[in-house]
Structure 1
Amino acid sequence: MFSSESISLAISDGSAHLSLVRSRLSAIQSQTASAPENNEDDRVILRKSVRYKGFEEADHVVPTGATAPGGGHRRASLSASGLEKTRNRIIRAFNVDFKKGLKLMRENGFYRTAPETARFLLHTGGLDRVEVGKALGSFTDERGMEALRLFAEGIEMEGLEFLPSLRKYLAKFKLPGESQMVDRILEAFAAAFLAANPLGSPSNRTEFPDSGAVHLLSFAVIMLNTDMYNKSLQKNKKMTKKQFVANTMTKDPATGATNFEQAFLETIYTDISRKEIVHTETKHDEGNLFHDAVKEGWMKKKSDSMPYQWQQRFFILTKNPGILYYFATEDQVNPTGYIPLEMIAVRKTDDKVSKKGLELVPDGISAGVVKSVKYGSKGALEQGNHDRFLFKAESVEEAWEWIRMINVVMGEEAGGGGRGSVASEGEAGVE
């Protein structure tokens, strides 16, 4: 679940895949490139709609024109909390299977038009990037293809050169493994890039006269990225700069003109060799775990092994469900572990432990343990049962604030259920 993967296509046999990609690249080169027709005014309006009216501002409300399947506006029948719960249910369903997520959101009156679907895929925090890629690649009908086009146009590429634009685009999702899906996704990028950077602009002076040229080079770059970072290929079998240029650059038999300048292709090769193209992960990916965060910050947590040292950890407290996640660093994407806030109590420790201390203990009703989950070195889940968890906040005030918010999440009165409780001096904290 918590894995960091590159944008390289997932395949078991690297050599066979590269052969297929090269064949597809050859087929693209043999096609007559032509820029797709597009209504400029309509494109600009819809592009702005996606870029500026995404879920950064509107992810907690149903679009104004959305209607329930049976007719009538669903917006009027849902409270703000109801919208939030429905939205989260859609996200979690999408992350299991994008088809189920898309079906569920339309059944609930959400995001039923192409612009709304594009906004959902581009701006919604918590969507699994793998499923986003599958969704984009699966679009074949008119509405789906329009959503894919708007998704690509919703990414700001104006003034960016080709490779930075491609990296920015592919950071939003993980490319699916089917060549036809990749084709559709890269065609959308090609059209969006050329619309934002027409021939003659500073970011497209001479290389891309039409979207076909952008599509061709995009596919060649994906081939190079796959080849260069494929662990199944031996180093001496990876594509050289000379081979990349030869595979990508074609010459017009009549005029002798080439489609790309050699120096330009060599620069791209060098750039890819220095930095792999990857999709971007954040803490909000992979199941929307941290969407309902109500507090985050640093605390020290006492380890469960000798000599019971204090470990600096970054914590995120979420509600629905109430969970306290902890990370080794603030930038770490995947949590080191978490503590479900069920059948436990939180309380301040006495000054003998720490003036800034707090602890999680059994609530007296359960089996007398505090349950937890850790992710092992290989990502496997390891369940733990502890007498208590002991923490040190960054200040006394922060300790009381953590206690208050944990109580709020657990449904208790803020500040209650533990102010008078203290930990005994001799107890050891656990991981």
Structure 2
Amino acid sequence: MVVSTMAPERNASSMLSLSSSHGGRSSRGSTVTNYSQSEQAELDTIRQEKVVLLREIRGLKDEIANCDYIIERLDVDEDGRPNAERQVLATGKKKFNLDPKKGIEYLVEQKAIEHTPEDVAKFLFNNEGLVKTAIGDYLGELGFSQQVLEEFVRLHNFSNTDLVTALRTFLWSFRLPGEAQKIDRIMETFAKHYCVQNPDVFSSSDSCYVLSFSIIMLNTTLHNRAVKSSFRQSVDQFITMNRDSNGGQAFPREMLVAIYESIKNDQFKIPEDDGTDLVPTFENPDRQGWLSKQGGKYNVTGWKRRWFVLNDNVLYYFTSPTDKEPKGLIPLENVKLDDIEVKEKNRHCFELLPLTNEVVKACKMGKDGKLVTGRHTNYIISADTAAEKEEWMRSIRSCTCENPYMGMLRERKKKAQRFYHSSVQ
């Protein structure tokens, strides 16, 4: 029997009418029998339709159960994708978080993605569960990663968007790496893309780059707790800093004031990665070995033996060489290195001190397994021999740099000014 989809609605309406006119069931639940012959016939039809519908519902339940069984046997997701593909993707994400290049190689080998800049960029842009720091490090590399970076940036739509909003969106999709050269490549690509989509805002992409970098630095000086209030940038200082950044021309004052107020009132939301995802891999470290560490001038807990690894301008230290996660890390930017003597015998020491701030910019692993900002005013480190101390100091000095971004910013300003002068001649 074929049941019309409108029948239940129509018959339910009829039943309400019958119930209203005849009282339906009595308070004792006895069936009303004073229906007319036509009403009784309609009631019988409704009951028959109910039986048929219940039978069809039971049949549908059986079919659903059978489909679930087949899905489990075929190991297929609800959207038709085999679970094997999902497992490959999950494994690829984990490998990427540990080593971005190896993760991409694995996914390409497993045919989960194609080895094209477009496909890799979409993988980085669309997939959840990727460590934002790993994405930033990969995008900042040379070679194939540069092509991926260009495609990754193109996936962002900045048309008719002010620069601050565009930066907020862009910097949320990954985490800027710590290496100056990588930041330079990423921000240069961003500036070019922004100028393509907003051609009438800047005189050149270099001008966009300079102002973008100034905004990032402004965000740091206004909201970083390590920066003294006396060193926080004022609106006039921000305007002066960017006075001639637009290819030798001045940006409108009201534009710079609006940018300053926007950053002051709402700092950039920087994506935070879970510290448990930080598993550094060192294939060719600059130097590694045992040292003893005494953190802070007022540290009274004595010396702690640690396995140190110097890699990519960062000094990591572990409890043992087999540990996957560091106990802490010290970026070698804006620090100075001193040769010192201590009272203890057989201690061959050197000291890391902050160059500008009150504390050394560093991180350490908290009790909950996540990285937290360190508060050391210095790091005193001891080698086993005088020769080892000299070798470590030589290696660390070769990795330390004084404000690398300021030099990079000065060069970019000069380039923007040269572009302006050549265009007006």
Kindly indicate whether structure 1 or structure 2 has the higher relative contact order, using CA contacts under 8 Å at least 6 residues apart.
1
Q: Which has the higher helix share?
A: 2
The TM-score with structure 1 as length reference comes to: 0.43
Instruction: With the length of structure 2 as denominator, give the TM-score of the two structures.
Output: 0.44
